[in-house]
Structure 1
Amino acid sequence: MAISRVQKRVTLRRKLHILRAINNSKSVKKHFIVLVNGRSSIVMNDALYMYKLKVLLERLKAEYANLIATRREYLNLMKHVQHPKDVKVEKVGSGFVVKVNCEKGADKLVTILEAFEEMGLNVQQARVSCNNAFALEAIAVAEDKSLDVRNVTEKLLMVIDQKQSDEKGLMEA
């Protein structure tokens, strides 16, 4: 029976030592005094500390869920934003610098490149982005020197308008 008391005391001290380690307590003397006066005190202090951590974790989870919901709302709104079409063409040497911004849609790049080919423009360099809208920056050289900025701009606007009206017609059907 004396052995079991000693074993219980040793296991209790080990458990209290683990609680002190979890609690990050620097004061060994304080815990020693608490142990002498009453064993339940240290358990209550550590339980309170763990409860505060649990409350903090729940608050962080709620804040994270709120941020995720806000992000989802923002992305949903970005899908419905109307992007105005914008075509800018500048003459540079024997070629053109073309900048196109419009709504995303199927085969925009293909139709614009086909329009370049019809006009006799060879694309030297191009940068395309389709994150929230369609954006194209291209440097194209004209085979025919009679092309001017206005002709290229009108042709691209016509192609974009035609493509957007085709897409809207398909959506309504």
Structure 2
Amino acid sequence: MVSKVHKRTAMYRNLHLLRSIIHSTSNSKTSVILDATKYIQDLKQKLEEINPLRVAASTKMVDYDATPKIKVEPKEEGFVIEVMSEKRCQGLLVFILEAVEDLGLEVLDARVSCVDNFCLEAVGNKQEKNEDTCPLNAQSVEQVVSQAIQNWREVTQQ
């Protein structure tokens, strides 16, 4: 007897879970199952629409702009450096961070994504020991980051 109650309770919970996943307002089991079938068919159709784009991207039929975009904004004590590319750029982060360090900037905070594309947002402050050297401006930081990207390209194309 207890087993039947547990099975019925489990079935009711699963039915309730299914109803919430497919956003069904039906109360009968049959209607929920029919709604779930329609939901699965809609998902299959969406997947079929997405799949050709994915195949095109994987075979490089879709042409991405391989040149990373650079944006440098001056802040109170340093700069915000943003580098974005539509392609993955394996190893680029190391080149950029070394160039920033050579400039005498200390990276205080950085967010990086390298999954399907490359995106870096870093906050760099001037190190205290380099204050007597020539002052940095956004244009010079951008040039150094651009040169780091060029160096990375030369190394990866060999």
After TM superposition, the score normalised by the length of structure 2 is: 0.59
Describe the superposition over 1:117-172 as per-residue Cα deviations: whole angstroms up to 9, x where unpaired: 11111111111112332110011101134111111111100010111122122xxx
What's the counterpart of residue 109 of structure 1?
A: 93
2:70 partner SS = strand
Uncovered stretches (5+) of structure 2, i.e. residues with no partner: 1-29, 31-36
Partner of 2:10: none
The one-letter amino acid paired with 2:120 is: L
Deviation at 1:71?
Answer: 5.2
Give the % identical residues: 29
Give 1:83's aligned residue: 66
Is the contact between residue 105 and residue 164 of structure 1 (CA under 8 Å) also seen in structure 2?
no
1:84 deviates by 2.7
**Pairing of 1:6-155 with structure 2 (within 5 A):** 66-67=48-49, 69-70=51-52, 72-76=54-58, 77=60, 80-102=63-85, 103-143=87-127, 144-145=130-131, 146-155=135-144
Question: What is the identity, as a one-letter code, of the residue corresponding to 2:76?
Answer: G
Q: Distance in 2 between matches of 1:79 and 1:130?
A: 19
Q: State the TM-score, normalized to the length of structure 1.
A: 0.54
Which shifted more, 151-160 or 137-146? 137-146
Which one of 144, 147, 153 corresponds to residue 158 of structure 1?
147
Deviation of 1:112 after TM superposition, in Å, equals 0.9
Call closer, same or farther: CA 1:85–1:65 in 2, change over 3 Å.
closer
| Aligned-CA RMSD value | 3.0
Name the SS of the counterpart of 1:98 in structure 2: strand
- Which amino acid in the other structure matches residue 81 of structure 1? Y
8 Å contact kept, 1:79–1:132: no
In the alignment, the residues of structure 1 paired with residue 61 and residue 115 of structure 2 have an alpha-carbon distance, to the nearest angstrom, of 10
User: How far apart in 2 are the matches of 1:78 and 1:137?
Assistant: 29
Structure 1: stretches of 5+ with no match in the other structure: 1-23, 25-55
Richer in helix (by share): 1
Runs of 4+ in structure 1 off by over 6 angstroms are none
